[in-house]
Each structure stands twice: as C-alpha cells, then as structure tokens.
Amino acid sequence: MLAGEEASIEIVQRWLQRRSSDEIETGSSSGSPGARAGRRSSLALTPEDEPLVDVANRSPPPSHIPAALFYAPPEPLELLCVFPERASRVCAAACNAAARAGGESRAVRGPREALDAFRRDADARIPHVVVIDARQPQLMDPTLLARAIRGMKNTQHVILVAVVKKSAYLKDDFAVIPYLEAGFNRVMVETLGATAWCAEMLQARAAAATTRAHVGAVAALTAATDRCRDLVAVTDDQQRILLTNKSWCRVVGWRPEEAPRPLTEAVSGEALRLAASGVRDWEAPVLIRRRAAPDPVLLPCRGSSVTLNKNTSHVVFVCEPSNAMDCERARGSLHSIRRGSLDVRSVASDGLRRTSLAKLQGLPLEAPITKVISLLSAATDGAPPSTIACIDRAVDMLRTSELYSPQMREDPKMRAEDPIATDLIGALLSREQVNSNIFYMQGATNVLSSRRSSNDSTVVRSQANRTNMKHKTTGQLREVLDTALSWEFEIFRLEDLTRGRPLTHLGLTLMGGRFDVCSTLECDERTLLHWLTVIETNYHAVNTYHNSTHAADVLQAVAFFMEKERLKMLLEPLEAAAALISAAAHDIDHPGTSSAFLCNSRHSLAILYNDVSVLESHHAALTFKLTLNDDRVNIFKNLDRDTYKSVRHNVIDMILATEMTKHFEHLAKFVNVFYAKSNGSKEDNMNTDEPLSLDTTALTSPENVVLIKRMMIKCADVSNASRPQKFAFEWARRIAEEYFLQTDEEKAKELPVVMPMFDRATCSIPRSQIGFIDYIIIDMMEAWAAFIDMPELVNHARNNHQRWRELDEAGVTTIADVKRAQRQNAIQSAPNSTSQPTAEE
C-alpha cells in the first residue's frame, strides 16, 4: 500500500526522469525484469497487510505564515466506498473501520452514484474520503472516475484511495504512477484486516483535515485579493502567472479561468528583473500591457518572493492602480450599454484615406501636444545623446497649461501661397478669443459626474403632466417636416413656409415627436412649445447667418447624427435631450459679430465674461435664465436636483464647445483618443495612405463620451460646407454678408479689423470657402464621418470644394457673382429635381 498527497506527483515524475537518465547511462535501458529487480526503488513497500506511511511533506508551515490560518472545523469522517460488487468484503471492512474511527460511511456501486454524492444539495454531506475499487477495471475504470471527481469544483480536499490487487501491485515498482496521475492520493493493497483499515481511515481523516485547512486558507486569501483595489498577481518559480485577482483581470483584460501564462506577456520593467533575481522584498515601477489598449500603463509595484525551502516557489506582485483606472471602475452600468464595436475601415476605404491626426501636422499651426508626439517619436529611434534632449524638451512642453491650444506658425511660403486662408485661420485663433475658460476645462470631469442610467428616475414618466397637443401644420409644411431626418432637408423652404420661424416647428417635430424629449424631461408638450417660442424669439432675425434658421439647421444636423447606430448605442435619453436643447439654443441672442469684436469694442458682455468665451458663455447663461424665469417655459421644472444638474452640465459643455477658437483643440483630442496613432512622422507624411482605425476601447470612458458630444455639435454647427451644394452656397453667402457687416462697423468705429479678408470690396467668396474647407472642414468631417459611418459628409464637402475652385478659376468673387452662379445652377438642375426653389434662389 502506498500513501501520498496529491502534491507528491510532481516529485515522483522528476525522480522518474532522473532514474531514466541513469538507466540510459548504465546501459540498462532495455527495461528487462532482471535489471528492474536489481534496483531497489525509493518507494519501497512495507509489509503487505499494513498501510504505507504517508510520504507527503508534513513539516510545519514557515514561521511567517500564521499557524491559525490553517484551520478546519472538526467534522466526523464521511466515507464513500465505490465498489461494483454487491457484497464486497473489502468494502465492508472499510465501512467498519470508518465506524470504529467515529465516522459515517455509505457504499455505491457505480460512477454515476459516486458523482451524485458530490452534488451540493441542502441535505447532502460531501465525503472526506473516497475508496474506489480498482481491482476490476473491466467493470469500472477507476482512473476515469478519479479524474471526473477532480474535475468537479471544490474537491481538492477530498482524499481518494485506490484499492488494488496484491499481485498487480507487486508486479511493478511504479504501478502507483497511473493512479497518482489520475488524482488519487493513496493506493492500498486489498485487505480484510481490521487493523490495516482502521489505520488507513485514521491517516485519511488526518490528511483530509490538513488538506481542508490548506484549501480553506488559500480560498480565504484569494477572496481577500479579489476584494482588494490593488492589482495582485502570483507566479511560480518559472514566472508563470498562477493567480490574478479581479482588479488585475479588469485592467489587463484577462479572464480568471484562463490557463497559466508567462509573466512576460503582461509585465515588463525593473520589477520583472528584481523578481527574477530572487530578492525577497522589493519595490519598483512595472509596465503592464493591457489587452484592449495599445499603450502599457506604468504602475508602482511591491513584490515578495515566497521560499519554503531554499528555492523560491512563488512571487507575488502588488500594483497600485492609477486614478484613471479608478474612474473607469466607477463607471459602472455604462460599460454594458457601450460594449458594441465597429470597424470603420470599411467606411474609410472608399476615399477616406487620410488620417486626421496626420493632416493636423500639415496645418499652418503647431500645438504643443503635436510637438510632443513628434519629439517622442524621434526619441524612440534610438539616437543616444539627442534622445535625452528630446525628452527634456517634451517634459517642458507637458508642463504648459494648454497642451491642445494651437498657435500660428510662421510660414512665409504658406502666407504667400494662400493669404486668405492664412488670415481666416489667424482670425479664428485670435488671442483675444483664446483665453482659458476654467469652467470649460473642468467640463470633462464634471459633466458626467452625476450621470443617470436609463433605468433611473428619468425613465419614470409623469403621465399627468403630458398634454397631447397636436402640431397643427399646413400640407406643404407637413410635407417638409416629414423629411426632418434627411440630410437633404429643405431648411430654407421651411424658413419661407414658417415666415422666419423654423425653429419652433422643427423643434416640435424632432424634440416633441421623434426623440420624445417631453417624456425624458417629464414636462408637457405645451411647455416645450413655449420654450421653443421664447428661444426663437431671442434670436436676431436681422442677422443674415446667426439667426433661428441657423439654430434649426444645427438642431436638424444633431438629430440626424443621433439617428446613427453608434450614437444610439452611446447616448442615453437624457444626453440626447441635452444635445437637442444645446443645438436649439447654442447661438441665442447672437449679435451678428464675433467675440473678438465685442472685446475690442468694450461691449458689456465682454466686460461681464472677462473677455473669455464671451458669446458662448452668454448663449449658455441666457438659455437657463429664460428657461428658469417662467414656469410656463421651464422644461426642467419636474426634474430632481441631480438630474437637472446633469442636464445643465451637458448643455453648458456642448454650447461652449461651439467656440471656434477651440476647434483644433477639440479635433486633436478626438482623433488622439478614438483613432489608432500612426507610427510615421511629419517627414514621411505620417503614413497618410492608411485608413482610419477606430479604437473602440475608448468608448467606455465617460470623459471620452464628452468628447463625442462636443464633436457632434461642432460638426453640426459648421455642417454647411458638408451639405448638398445648393444649401452650402446659400449658407456661404449669408455668413459672408454677416462678416462684411462686421468689417464695415469696425472700420466705421475705427476698431481693429478682426477679419480683414472679409472686406466686401476685395473679398473672394470662393477662395474663403476653399480655405475654410481645406483647413477646417475636411479633417474634422473625415474623422466624424468615419466614426458615425456617414461618408456623404466628406463627399459633399469635396464636391463643394471642387465647385468653389471652378468658380474661382472662372473669376467669381462677389456675393452678386455667387447669386448668379446659384441661379444658373438651379436652372440647370431644375429638370432633374422636384424640389421647390428657395426664396434666395
């Protein structure tokens, strides 16, 4: 009879390897009986009628492991005998010995009944020791049953004993090996001796208690690590990861049930070198590679080597999570609704081949973050002395407060080739407008600090407040409004049919109908009608561009974008409502002049807002002032405090995002977060032939969802150039006229001229639009079109760009010339179009 713990299998296997090598060296590899008899095994048998002494390592645990941790509550022995014979005398002897040892026993005849005994029913008692008859393999395969038992959960503490025939046991010194490999702990020669069986039961009971204590201690420590915020990993002496806690799996992207893997798959750095050196305790930074992220994360790590004898058996890694990881963990329910992913390569394949991040490097401006990317790319090439200098410069740039705020780059060649585009971009980046906005910078952190799930109170609709008010419209108006979710929506025809009041009608159709904002905000439709009326009344109808028609156009674009599958998946109803509100009110009370003009003229709004985001701050503030001042208008009156706060933060953040001086900052952040970074450099054109590659893992972060909403309203705000040609031309005419009026007023008041290129006597409308599309529209629309799967955005922009170039080559410059070109285009397309011409046409 042989006794041994499960852990002794590896020891026996190593001994067998050494024995085989010895036999080969001595020429005894033939395996003859004589050669085998001439060598005495270290697993020598004791007298046949007595059980073997347990060969497992029973030395006390090391002093640094609390002995009290190895605790198992005293339990009476539970014996299960599996014998195919109906009346086996060996089985009876084992059951009698269990009773003499103070335990209980039961006998079954087959594997099915044996496995049923391990089901954790309410009244079931899991056996501590299982004795399996291995004498008749033709009736029952003992090794197969042992593997099945070991394959069940929580059976590590069960002691399996195989009963074998005496003749088979004495035939080979290594007859026990197959049983040990199958999961048996002990092998016993068949016997009817009461003394032998009683001794076996006592040893089995002690072994079971010890195993239960060890397994219980490991389970307790594993539970402790799983509830720890730190990242914990345990490896063996070969640096294979054996155990990771939930925090590690969440950050790295592993599944707990995955098989052991090399430590080098996830960890690199100084910590790995110290762990391999055998140092007992150490602290060092560690680089952890995450499965769902391209860049590793650097974390502080504390480690310890566990040594039971002289050699290290385990190494423990404990890493402190960063604040960003805490934010991801606090995200909670949003991960489940944002798990979808799409590969936008198919969207980008039909012509969208230029990476927006690459195009940013070709613009006539330089942002510190762009410089940092270039320097770090150069540093990785491995130039020894210059690497240190590059990194030092990068660190200096990272210390600046606005990494994404671009400044004009001195480029005489650019200015000579395209002075109009250069002046246009310079005006947009006027330093009087590019002051830091503290609230704006904090928006990314605060906007979703109190995000509410679609399962929260916003879902509980107050039906008592709902008024089913029909939107009365004429036949022609209804025909136009029925196409409100088309990118070819006739916004100017709506303007004519509503006599300059398109926002109220379109808002009722989209906000009150398609997106059911009333249910989300728990208000009635009459309140929404009053709110839309007040908002539209506070737009200046005398403005040629910044009027309620522009607000309705932006509202329609936002609604169209939110019908795309990706945004449907990402945005909650409350966020969609906030986006529509922001679009409708984003330019309310716009005076028809820029923020720089207000600052230069010392306007009261510029004084009120300290020359910082003057117009956008005014639009946001006036929106809430008008809304909250009158209960008949207050669409937020039924929201609880937290929900109102969330909506307010969303609306303010999106309105502030429409400030054009922040355009390149928002675009650079969006592209850097959501698209895979190119490995090229400015000198090699940044691999511009590669398609856009979306990083879907970034969708799960609340800060990144804020970037999406900002990008959405920005694209809607300047979507004119990406509309069909007849709409794009009319919007270009209107914005040019408004800029001309500002330049005229600046000259009359002897103020600095913010946009000198928009002088009605010298301006070329086609050239201004060509520069605007080249340096503002194309890059942004490429990134956004690939994100929401809408290639027509870029197609329209390029078609309009081509048409403007043709007009420029034909000598078209003034507004009158553009009008004539519009009329000619309308006449040529009239036979192929059923749409009604606009008033301007």
Q: Give the domain CATH number at 162.
A: 3.40.50.2300
Round to whole Å and give the CA distance between 206 and 210. 6
Q: What angle do CA 408, 409, 413 make, to 5 degrees?
A: 120
* Eight-class DSSP state of 613: S
Q: Say how far apart CA 302 and CA 595 lie, in whole Å.
A: 53
pLDDT of 673 reads 82
In a domain, 619, yes or no: yes
My answer on whether 378 and 494 are in the same domain is no
Same domain, 204 and 283: no
Boundary residue ending a domain (224, 243, 261): 224
Q: How many CA atoms lie within 13 A of 400 on its CB side?
A: 15
| Dist CA 805 CA 772 (whole Å) | 12
Question: Is 25 in the same domain as 124?
Answer: yes
* Domain membership flag for residue 406: no
What is the sign, positive or negative, of the torsion defined by CA atoms of 544, 548, 553, 554?
A: positive
pLDDT for position 323: 58
One-letter-per-residue 3-state SS of 431-449: CCCCCCCHHHHHHHHHCCC
Residue 473 lies in a domain: no
Judge if 100 and 136 occupy the same domain: yes
Instruction: Say what angle helices 525-537 and 614-628 make with each other, to 10 degrees.
Output: 140
- My answer on whether 254 and 391 are in the same domain is yes
Sign of CA dihedral 100, 105, 111, 117: negative
**In this structure, what token pair is assigned to residue 242?**
């054996």
CA separation for the pair 8, 521 (Å, rounded): 68
Dist CA 695 CA 676 (whole Å) = 6
| Maximum Cα–Cα distance across the chain | 120
Instruction: Please compute Rg for the chain using Cα positions.
Output: 39
Q: d(Cα 384, Cα 105) in Å, to the nearest integer? A: 75
* Any domain includes 404: no
Could you tell me the CATH number of the domain that includes residue 384?
A: 3.30.450.20
Question: Counting every residue, how long is the chain?
Answer: 841
pLDDT of amino acid 382: 56
Please identify which of the residues 546, 586, 590, 619 carries the catalytic annotation. Answer: 546
CB atoms within 10 A of CB 405: 19
Domain end (from 199, 224, 249): 224
- Rounded to 5 degrees, what are φ and ψ at 312? -70, 130
Burial call 160-177: b when 16+ CB within 10 Å, e when fewer: bbbbbeeeebeeebebbb
Low-confidence ranges of the chain (pLDDT < 50): 1-9, 11-12, 15-16, 19-63, 122, 327-358, 360-361, 363, 401, 412-416, 431-470, 678-689, 833-841
Return the exposure string of 647-664: e unless at least 16 CB atoms fall within 10 Å of the residue's CB, then b.
bbbbbbbbbbbbbbbbbb
Please return the burial class of 805, using the count of CB atoms within 10 Å of its CB with bins 0-12, 13-18 and 19+: middle
Q: What is the pLDDT of residue 711?
A: 93
pLDDT of residue 50: 37
Residue 343 confidence (pLDDT): 42
And the tokens for 626?
């008008």
Do both 143 and 292 map to the same domain? no
**Distance of alpha carbon 711 from alpha carbon 674, whole angstroms:** 12
Q: Of the residues 350, 382, 398, which one is the last residue of a structural domain? A: 398
For residues 579 and 568, give the distance between their C-alpha atoms in angstroms, rounded to a whole number.
Answer: 13
Give me the residues paired with residue 831 across strands: none
Query: Distance from first CA to last CA of the chain, Å, rounded?
Result: 104
Q: What is the rounded CA–CA span in Å between residue 604 and residue 582?
A: 24
Shared domain for 164 and 42, answered yes or no, is yes
How far are the Cα atoms of 367, 615, 713 from residue 561, in angstroms, in the given order? 29, 25, 9
| 406-434 pLDDT tens trace | 555 555 444 445 555 556 555 555 533 33
Asked whether residue 89 falls in the same domain as residue 209, the answer is yes
Domain shared by 640 and 716, yes or no: yes
**Cα–Cα distances in Å, from 757 out to 425, 699, 761?**
11, 41, 10
Q: Is 387 helix (H, G, I), strand (E, B) or coil?
A: helix
DSSP 662-711: GHHHHHHHHHHHHBPPPS--TTTGGGTTSPP-B-GGGGG-HHHHHHHHHH
Q: Report pLDDT digits (tens) over 82-134.
A: 998 878 888 989 888 888 888 888 888 888 888 888 876 545 677 889 999 98
* Any domain includes 156: yes
289 domain-assigned: yes
Pairing of the two strands 78-82 and 129-133: parallel
Shared-domain flag, residues 637 and 775: yes
Q: In whole angstroms, what is the distance from residue 274 CA to residue 301 CA?
A: 11
Cα distances (Å, whole numbers) of residue 759 to 179, 595, 750: 95, 18, 15
Asked whether 190 and 168 are in contact (CB, 8 A), the reply is no
Q: Which domain holds residue 521?
A: 480-829
Q: Number of C-alpha atoms within 13 angstroms, CB side, residue 339?
A: 5
**Angle at the Cα of 572 (from 569 to 576), degrees rounded to 5?**
105
Q: Which residue has the tokens 């560690």?
A: 286
> What is the CATH number for 822?
1.10.1300.10
Burial class (CB in 10 A: 0-12, 13-18, 19+), 77: buried
Q: Alpha carbon of 611 to those of 161, 407, 423, 433: distances in Å? A: 85, 19, 22, 7
Residue 420 is assigned to a structural domain of this protein: no
State how many domains the chain has. 3
Question: Do residue 215 and residue 291 come from a single domain?
Answer: no
Is the whole model's pTM more than 0.85, yes or no?
no
Distant-in-sequence, close-in-space partners of 470: CB < 8 Å, separation ≥ 6: none
* Nearest Cα to Cα of residue 700 among 340, 335, 341: 335
Q: Which H or E run includes 108?
A: strand 104-108
Rounded CA separation 653/496 (Å): 32
Closest CA to 125 of 106, 108, 142: 106
Residues 90 and 188 reside in one and the same domain: yes
Q: Which helix (H) or strand (E) holds 20?
A: helix 8-26
Q: Respond yes or no: is residue 663 known to be catalytic.
A: no
Cα–Cα distance list, 388 to 377, 393, 394 (Å):
13, 9, 10
- Residue 735: phi, psi to the nearest 5? -65, -35
Sheet strand arrangement including 281-288: 261-262, 240-244, 231-236, 312-319, 297-307, 281-288, 267-268
CB 110, CB 140: distance < 8 Å: yes
Asked whether 751 and 600 are in contact (CB, 8 A), the reply is yes
Judge whether 435 lies within some domain.
no
Phi and psi dihedrals of 496, rounded to 5?
A: -70, -45
Report CA-CA distances (Å) from 631 to 526, 615, 636, 638: 11, 26, 9, 10
Of the candidates 233, 203, 194, 222, the one whose C-alpha atom is nearest the C-alpha of residue 99 is 194
b/e burial code for range 244-273 (CB count within 10 A of at least 16 → b) = bbebbbbbbebeeeeeeeebeebbebebbe
Q: Count H helices, E strands: the chain?
A: 38, 15
- What's the CA gap between 133 and 555, in Å, rounded? 79
